[in-house]
Structure 1
Amino acid sequence: MSETPTEDAICSAKGCRRAAEFDLAWNNPKLHTPERRKHWLACAEHRESLDRFLSARGFLREVGPIA
């Protein structure tokens, strides 16, 4: 996944300051073109909850490790 910030990457979960390990690429099809990707970063602890949040709304496109 290109264009993912990796320097000082922290988890996107509210209040979490842990180092991010995963990149959750998503978009809202009602607002974004199909090729547009926004990124949430997740630590190991919050990866599943952020994944569930995005998946429940049909926004999650792909998940991968941060290089």
Structure 2
Amino acid sequence: MDGQTARIGIWRTPLHAMIEVFTGAGLRITESPAAAEDLRTTCETLVSHTPLGTVGKFVTDEVPDPRAS
């Protein structure tokens, strides 16, 4: 991201519940083969360049709880 810092929020909510929230807000969800390929590439890059213990610790211990709405 060109050296810029970005804050990422992660939901600990089932996918079906997130879809209901998005569609309830009027957003359309469509399939995108290009987006799926980009996500696959990003995940492969993360896994191949980050120590496994680091990825596992982030996924299981470091993901913050969502802020209350």
Could you tell me the TM-score, scaled by structure 2's length?
0.27
Higher strand share: 1
The answer to which structure has the higher helix fraction is: 2
CA radius of gyration, larger in = 2
Q: Which has the higher contact order (CA 8 A, sep 6+)?
A: 2
TM-score, L = length of structure 1 = 0.28
